[in-house]
Structure 1
Amino acid sequence: MIHNHPNTTICLSVPPVLQIDVIPSIGCLGVFYLGAFRFLRHGEAMVQEGYKKYNGVIFRVPFLSRWGFVATGPALVKEIFHTSDDILSLEETVYDDPHHIQSAVMHFTRTLGRRVPEMRDEIVCAFDEILGATEKDWNPVPVLSTIMPIVSRISNRLFVGLRLCRDPEFLKFSMQHTVDVVVAGRLIGFLPNFLRPIFGPFISSRKRNMREAIKMLGPLVAERMAMLDEHGTDWADKPNDLISSLLEIAQSNQRNVYSIVQRILIVILAAIHTSSIPLREEVESVVEKDGWTKVALDNMHKIDSFIRESQRMNGLNCLASARMVVHPDGFRFSDGTFLPSGSIVNVPIRAIHHDPEIHPDPEVFDALRSYNMGASTSNSNLESRTSKHRLVTTEPTYLSFGHGKHACPGRFFAAAELKLMLAHIVMTYDVKLEIEGVRPPDQVFEIFRVPDPKAKVLFRKRKA
Structure 2
Amino acid sequence: MASEPSASALADSSFSVSLDSFRLSSEAWSILVALVAAVLAYKIWTDHKFKLPPLINPPQTFDLSGAAVKKDFIQRSNELIQEGSKAFGGEPYSVISDTGRVIMLAPKHVDEIRNDPKLSFLKNTEHDFHAYLPGFEPFGAGNAIQILIMVAKKQLTKFLAKITKPLSDETAFSFQTVLGDSTGMNYPSINIPLLSNIVGYTKWHEVGLGQTILNVVSRLSSRVFLGPEICRNEAWLNITVMYVVDSFIAAERLRIVPKPLRRIVHWFLPECQRVRSHVAQTRSIIQPVIDARAREKRAAVEEGRPIPTYDDAIQWGEEESARSKYDPAIYQLAMAGAAIHTTTDLMTQLILNILPRPELLAALRSEMIEVLGKEGWAKTSLYNLKLMDSVMKETQRMKPIQSISMGRIADAVVHLSDGTIIPKGMKVAVANTLRHDPTIYENPLEFDGYRFLRMRQTPGKENQAHFVTTSPDSLGFGHGLIVDPAEPDLGNCSGKAGDLGRALARDNTALV
Q: Which protein is richer in strand relative to its size?
A: 1
Per the alignment, residue 442 of structure 1 pairs with none
Show the counterpart of 2:222.
156
Compute the displacement of 1:245 (Å): 0.9
- Is 1:420 aligned to residue 468 of structure 2? no
Are 1:190 and 2:256 an aligned pair?
Answer: yes
- 1:27 and 2:48 correspond: no
Equivalent residue, structure 2, for 1:405:
481
Offset, 1:70? 0.7
- Matched residues in 1 for 2:499 and 2:442: separation? 30
Shift of 1:54: 1.2
| Partner of residue 317, structure 1 | 402
Instruction: Return closer, same or farther for 1:431/1:310 CA change in 2, 3 Å cut-off.
Output: farther
Match of 2:446 among 356, 360, 364: 364
Distance 1:303 1:101 in 2: 27
Q: Which ranges in structure 2 are unaligned for 5 or more consecutive residues? A: 1-43, 132-139, 181-195, 347-359
Offset at 1:427? 2.7
1:69 alignment partner, SS class? strand
- Alpha-carbon distance between aligned partners in 2 of 1:102 and 1:88, rounded to the nearest angstrom: 14
* 2:207 aligned counterpart, secondary structure: strand
Which string of whole-angstrom CA distances, capped at 9 and with x for unpartnered residues, describes residues 164-220 of structure 1? 221222211211111122112222222333233332454434432221101111101
Task: Please state if 1:211 is matched with 2:280.
Answer: yes
SS of match in other structure, 2:465? coil
Q: Distance in 1 between matches of 2:405 and 2:230?
A: 33
Q: Deviations over 1:281-303 (max 9, x none)?
A: 21111111110111101111111
Which of these residues, 91, 99, 107, is aligned with residue 57 of structure 1? 91
The answer on 1:123 being equivalent to 2:171 is yes
SS in 2 for 1:357: coil
The equivalent position to 1:77 in structure 2, one of 85, 110, 116, is 110
Calculate percent identity across the aligned residue pairs: 24
Shift in Å at residue 272 of structure 1? 0.9
> Structure 1's 346 and 228: CA in aligned 2 closer, same or farther, altered over 3 A?
farther
1:326–1:341 contact (8 Å) kept in structure 2: yes
CA contact (8 A) 2:107 2:430 kept: no
Distance of 1:56 and 1:143 partners within structure 2 = 38
Deviations 1:269-328 (A, max 9, x none): 11110211221121111111110111101111111111111111121211221100111x
| Structure-1 residue corresponding to 2:381 | 296
- CA deviations on 1:372-417 (whole Å, 9 max, x unpaired) are 1111x237xxxxx64331111111110111111112343122221x
Amino acid at match of 1:114: K
Contact 2:95 2:102 in 1 (8 A): yes
RMSD: 2.5
Contact 2:435–2:441, Cα closer than 8 Å, also in 1: yes
Identify the structure with the greater helix proportion: 2
Cα pair distance change 1:386/1:290, threshold 3 Å: farther
Structure 1: which amino acid aligns with 2:208? P
Instruction: Provide the residue aligned with 2:79 in structure 1.
Output: 45
CA 1:336–1:218: 2 relative to 1, 3 Å: same
Tell whether the 8 Å contact from 1:319 to 1:348 is kept in structure 2 after alignment. yes
Give the one of 344, 348, 356 matched to 2:431.
348
Q: Matched residues in 2 for 1:194 and 1:277: separation?
A: 56
Given the superposition, is the C-alpha separation of residues 315 and 216 from structure 1 closer, same or farther in structure 2, using an over 3 Å criterion? Answer: same
Q: How many residues in Structure 1 have an aligned counterpart in Structure 2?
A: 406
Q: Retained in 2: the 8 A contact 1:65–1:191?
A: no
Residue 472 of structure 2 corresponds to residue 396 of structure 1: yes
- What is the CA–CA distance in structure 1 between the aligned matches of 2:376 and 2:307, rounded to whole Å? 27
2 CA distance for matches of 1:124 and 1:160? 18
How much has 1:242 moved relative to structure 2?
A: 0.9
Output the CA distance in 1 between the equivalents of 2:459 and 2:51. Answer: 49
Verify: 1:260 aligned to 2:324, yes or no.
no
Q: Residues 110-149 of structure 1: matches in 2 within 5 Å?
A: 110-132=158-180, 133=196, 134-135=198-199, 136-137=201-202, 138-149=204-215
Deviation string, structure 1 residues 335-387 (Cα, Å, up to 9, x no partner): 112222211111112x2322323322222111111111111x237xxxxx643
Q: Provide, for residues 414-445 of structure 1, a one-character-per-residue CA deviation record: whole Å limited to 9, x for no partner.
A: 221x212222232332555435xxxxxxxxxx
Aligned equivalents of 2:156, 2:267: Cα separation in 1: 32
State the structure with more CA Rg: 2
Which residue number corresponds to residue 169 of structure 1? Answer: 235
**Hey, what does 1:178 align to over in structure 2?**
244
Q: 1:163 to 1:29 in 2, by over 3 A?
A: closer
Kindly indicate whether the alpha-carbon contact (under 8 Å) linking 2:409 and 2:428 is maintained by their aligned counterparts in 1: yes
From the superposition, tell whether residues 231 and 121 of structure 1 become closer, same or farther in structure 2 (CA, over 3 Å).
same
Distance of 1:30 and 1:252 partners within structure 2: 49
What code does the residue aligned with 2:393 have? R
Distance 1:200 1:388, change over 3 A: same
Find the aligned partners of 2:405 and 2:443 in 1 and give their Cα distance.
Answer: 23
Q: Are the structure 2 counterparts of residues 121 and 38 from structure 1 closer, same or farther at C-alpha, using a change threshold of 3 Å?
A: same
TM-score, length of structure 2 as denominator length:
0.73
| TM-score normalized by the length of structure 1 | 0.81
Please give the alpha-carbon distance, in whole angstroms, between the structure 1 residues aligned to 2:378 and 2:402: 32
CA separation of 1:231 and 1:72: change in aligned 2, threshold 3 A: farther
CA pair 235-262 structure 1, distance change in 2 beyond 3 A: farther
Q: CA deviation at 1:152?
A: 0.5
Structure with the greater relative contact order (CA < 8 A, sep ≥ 6): 1 or 2? 1
